[in-house]
Amino acid sequence: MTQPRRILVTSALPYINGVKHLGNLAGSMLPADVYSRVMRLLGHDVTYICATDEHGTPAELAAQAAGVSVQDYCDEQYEIQRAAGEGFSLAFDWFGRTSRPANHKVTQHLAQALEKQGLIEERTSQQVYSVDDGRFLPDRYVEGTCPTCGFEKARGDQCDNCGRLLDPVDLIDPYSSVSGSRNIEIRDTNHLYLLQGQMQDRIREWVNSKGAQWPSLAVSIANKWLDEGLIARAITRDLSWGVKVTDADGNPRPGYEDKVFYVWFDAPIGYISATQEWAEATGNDWESLWKTDKGADEVEYVQFMGKDNVAFHTVSFPVTLLGCGEPWKTVDKLKAFNWVTWYGGKFSTSNKRGVFMDQALDLLPADYWRWYLIANAPEGSDAAFTWEGFQSAVNSDLANVLGNFVNRITKYTASKFDGQVPDAGTPGDAEAWMVNELKERLPRLIEHYETMEFRKAAAETRAIWAAGNEYLTKAEPWVKYKSDVDAAAIGVRAGLNLAALFGIIAQPIIPGAAKKILDALNIPEENRNFPAADADFAALLDALPHGMAISPPEVLFQKIEDAQVAEWAERFGGGKED
């Protein structure tokens, strides 16, 4: 048995402007949840932290459109997102908010620490001012033509076409994406700048030290930024909603009364402040997870995010943590995902493109979606969502392979063995074959989870379920029962133990269905952990107490019919003609 590890897991913070779509779920929160569940089932001490990212212009504009205060808007949206996460069985240890006082305090502290280290200075810069909107425009609310590639819908912070970081004043023919107005002026304004260039060599050394712990996608994105050269970036904005800029005494910084910290400066700090909230609410110690002089050097810190968040987590946030001169824990393993695409394009919150978490739960239980999104995780490349692929995965993997196995063996036990685990019979060739399958596949499954290869983990899980079906074909308890009840009994007993094992290994991805299986088989909570990679695999086929009562669970998965697929394609788009 390996020694238990302490693991801190964070997933990219979902922005506050509305329920997240399935692409957001698949690229951060869901795999982080699956990983956290697996590590707990392997006996490790896991803390999974997330929060809503609530500052910045999008929240202000959304509140304005809704005719409510920004605080009221964020309060409402937080509850909606919390409920959606709960509906998808996301087992956060804490789901915090960046608008809470804890995040304000840590953000202000880190900014002051960076300034003491000479990494922040005040500069007068030119910024886009929209005369018609009566406001300075944050980078992403200025659009225009990219000066590098000519893309006509480049944002002021980054071009989505060529990926180059931009300054809005460099855009050709800029306009306000808030109002569409081209009545634009470039005005002087003072801001605090984080001197990232001074940390260039240290950040590159840090990135290089991660080696195989990061996927090539994350390393390549980090190196792209580093190769282009880190530049000083403004970490304040001319906005009213956000973390106020203060001096060392906590008073408003002169000249910054109407400014706040840039959302991308304070949002990652939300991982720390949300952990503080969790610790305060539960009586735990947050410093042992985040301060290397308090024990965090023994913690494995694992982050999950989509590829569009990678640069900020591999460069900007590390500049803050490594540059402030304090012993903060930085990420050890970073799992970056590509995008889930929706019929030739990206899922989009702003454009309401695709299926969103609340809508998905109105159609089918969370397990159906969880299985499909993990089995088709966008790891090596973007992964296309299709209704037909979703239908096939649910019907084949869940209904036919897992559901059918559990249904057959439990119902047969109820009808022929009085709903009890039989004790007769001696293992033979079929059982030896199944033991070899488990001996080969279970360690491989655990290895896939350890390396965070979720597609492979789902495929191996399905392969183990499929092997169970093949075992029943070899054992033929229903055939043997006609002439040799004892010979049938061994097949039923092994089949019931396999059903329990299948429920155990299903828990990370489809926790709802797994619980139904394990409850029906009367498996105590303390016996639901993953078997070790070096387990006695033969014993797994005879682990249930002989004579123990079991009951067939209700139907685990309803098949998705063609008519449902047609209806959903009509409602949400994404039919074959798209």
Contact 7, 45 (CB under 8 A): yes
Q: What is the dihedral of CA 305, 307, 309, 315, to 10 degrees?
A: 110
Tokens standing for residue 181: 């107005």
Length of the chain equals 578
349 is in an annotated binding site: yes
Instruction: Return the structure tokens found at 78.
Output: 């937080």
Both tokens assigned to 40 = 């707990």
Report which of 413, 437, 452, 420 is spatially closest to residue 502, judged by C-alpha positions: 437
| DSSP 8-state symbol, 110 | H
Cα gap 130→564, rounded to integer Å: 48
Q: Which two tokens stand for residue 388?
A: 């037909």
Count of CB atoms situated within 10 Å of the CB of 68: 14
**Is 50 annotated as a binding-site member?**
no
* Beta pairing class for 333-337 and 340-342: unpaired
Angstrom distance (rounded) from CA 443 to CA 88: 28
Residue of 60, 120, 102 whose CA lies nearest to 256 = 120
Cα gap 209→235, rounded to integer Å: 27
Handedness of CA 155, 161, 166, 169 (dihedral sign): negative
Quote the CA–CA distance of 394 and 558 in Å, as a whole number: 9
Residue 149 annotated in ligand binding = yes
Q: Give dist(CA 442, CA 7) in Å, integer.
A: 22
Is 324 known as a binding-site position? no
Q: Binding site membership: which residues? A: 146, 149, 159, 162, 349
Q: Binding site membership for Zn(2+): which residues? A: 146, 149, 159, 162
Q: Binding site membership for ATP: which residues? A: 349
